[in-house]
Amino acid sequence: MKDITAALLVIGDEILSGRTSDQNINYLATHCTAVGIRLEEVRVVSDKEDRIIEGLNALRIAYDYVFTTGGIGPTHDDITAQSVAKTIGVDLVENGQALAIMEARYPGEVLSEGRRLMARIPVGGELIKNSVSGAPGFMIENVIVMAGVPKIMQVMLDDVTPKLKTGNRLLSRTFIVRHPESTVAQLIGKLDEENEGISLGSYPYFKLGKVGTVIVLRGVDEQQLDQVCLEFAAELKREDKDFEEDRESTELKPLSFD
């Protein structure tokens, strides 16, 4: 099965200024891993058309899919849709289906100019459902445009995922080794060199005055991954290293550095 790759383009001055803390990167990465899409790159760009177009052009050629978050609201700096249209080379028009969704969301009201702006979709774009606030995202070619608000982004991602190609699902196993990273670095390097198709990540932690290392092994071949884990556990025991293995782990859990 072919690996399916993706990138994320995060759009927004508020992210770059530090005013808003991005919550979408980790959610999207976890989601992609679970369904069999490799998220291989994340870029953050400002609300400037040339920056958005530059990022889109680079990423849509390099990866199977490009997700974007942010910049599809009703204000002057929400320019993602028009930037995507220019990147693809199509017109940005008021989409009848999107407009109907917006009108149904606000029955009996005359849609404001700002709300009508959110019904503008590049020609050829397929709508992505937004069950939270109504205003849809869209997918055109391999570009998937979603809102920046986490709750809305998440429901949009759920809606668009069944339409995407998926590949090998990345599996992972976690070892918590209660020794400094330097004491296991040589062993990690040896296993990494000898086992093509398995990646090893090493993450030191400091908790309650104690030092340790979280080691994550990842691969798409479960049999190979389990075999490497057996070898790694055997080597740790041989070197008398105190460790704990989480064979059910699917992601690296956040570490506490208190």
pLDDT digit string, tens, across residues 199-238? 999 999 988 788 999 999 999 999 999 999 999 999 999 9
Q: Which domains does the chain have, with CATH numbers?
A: 5-163 (3.40.980.10), 171-246 (3.30.70.260)
**Token couple for 81:** 């849709």
Q: What is the DSSP letter of 47?
A: S
Residue 253, pLDDT above cutoff 80: no
Residue 251, pLDDT above cutoff 50: no
**Token couple for 105:** 């969301």
> Would you say the pTM of this structure is higher than 0.95?
no
**pLDDT tens by residue, 11-23:** 999 999 999 999 9
The Cα-based distances of 162 to 18, 42, 159, 258 in angstroms read 33, 22, 7, 41
**pLDDT tens by residue, 15-69:** 999 999 999 999 999 999 999 999 999 999 999 999 999 999 999 999 999 999 9
Helix (H, G, I), strand (E, B) or coil at 115: helix
The Cα-based distances of 96 to 33, 82, 120, 125, 158 in angstroms read 35, 17, 9, 12, 23
**pLDDT tens by residue, 116-132:** 999 999 999 999 999 99
